[in-house]
Amino acid sequence: MEPKPRLLAILDIVTTALFVVAVGMVFFYAPTEAVMGQVQRVFYFHVSAGWVGMLSFLTAAVAGIIYLRTGRRHWDIIGLSAVEIGIAFIFVNIVTGSIWARPIWNTWWTWDPRLTTATIMELIYAAYLMLRQGIEEPERRARFGAVYAILGFVSVPLTFMSARLFRTIHPVVIGTNQPGAEGSFDMTPKMLQTFMFSLLTFTFIFIDLLWHRVRLGRLADRVEEIKLKVTV
């Protein structure tokens, strides 16, 4: 069992502290938005979760490239960990996006290009896991995972562009001529600060979770090794 590195312990503390402050800022520091009311507070973590999703995707793709070039198992674990985290946070992003939409546009879903792209990303992540589940040999599993992570990542900007182009032609929320129809609102300085701080906090959360999850993956590998040794 790898002992927990000192740096990780420090990171845990820092991340937790940041999170507490961020929550405080969201509920007590940021003002209430005039048009949307309290539900707008969801926005800070909604976008931050989406941000973590993007980081995860990027990490998985880069880890994939490095794995293909070096063949080192470590990078496969990083890729898988990143995808797992991505699934969780994009899920948050999608659901909070839906919850935010409901009171404002009286619909549970808008085909907003960002939300649409997030949903497709989630599906790509799920497909990644299903691909891995269908392969027995760890080496091939890692290789195919890496390839799919790269392809998935490359597709995201294209998907976003097509969703956006589609949307400019089909204003989706019918009968809405509110200026806030894109979910935009003017951010006061306090809101902006809260927003930026949330992004920072969630970046730390991503790194912290990734590290923990990678350690878990390495532990799993070691268990597998001994398992093979003992059962042979």
* Per-residue interface string for the shown chain with other proteins, residues 29-68, x marking contact by CB under 8 A: ---xxxxxxxxxxx--xx--x------------------x
Q: Does 73 bind other proteins (CB under 8 A)?
A: no
106 binds other proteins (CB under 8 A): no
**Can residue 6 be called a binding residue for other proteins (CB under 8 A)?**
no
Q: Which is nearer to other proteins, 13 or 130 (CB)?
A: 130
> What secondary structure does DSSP assign to 169-232, as a single string?
HS--STT---GGGGS--PPPHHHHHHHHHHHHHHHHHHHHHHHHHHHHHHHHHHHHHHHHHHH-
Whole-number minimum distance, CB 55 to other proteins, in Å? 15
Residue whose CB is less far from other proteins, 131 or 199 = 131
User: What are the two backbone dihedrals, phi and then psi, of residue 30, each rounded to the nearest 5 degrees?
Assistant: -70, 140
Nearer to other proteins, 111 or 182 (CB): 111
For residue 77, the minimal CB distance to other proteins (Å) is: 13
In 3D, which of 195, 181, 199 has the Cα closest to residue 35? 181
Q: Per rule CB under 8 A, is residue 131 in the interface with other proteins?
A: yes
Sign of CA dihedral 60, 62, 65, 70: negative
Region near other proteins per CB under 8 A, out of 72-80, 97-105, 174-182, 187-195:
97-105
b or e along 209-225 (b: 16 or more beta carbons within 10 Å of the residue's beta carbon)?
Answer: bbbbbbbebeeeeeeee
Choice between 11 and 131, CB closer to other proteins: 131
Which residues are bridge partners to 37 per DSSP?
A: 33
Site for other proteins in 179-218 (CB under 8 A): 205, 209, 212-213, 216
Asked if residue 14 binds other proteins (CB under 8 A), the reply is no
**Measured in whole angstroms, how far is the alpha carbon of residue 167 from the centre of its chain?**
23
The neighbour count for residue 52, using CB atoms within 10 Å, is: 27
Residues numbered 142 to 161 that lie near other proteins (CB under 8 A) are 143-144, 146-148, 150-152, 154-155, 158-159, 161
Does 72 participate in binding other proteins (rule CB under 8 A)?
no
Burial of residue 78 (number of CB atoms within 10 Å: 0-12, 13-18, 19+): buried
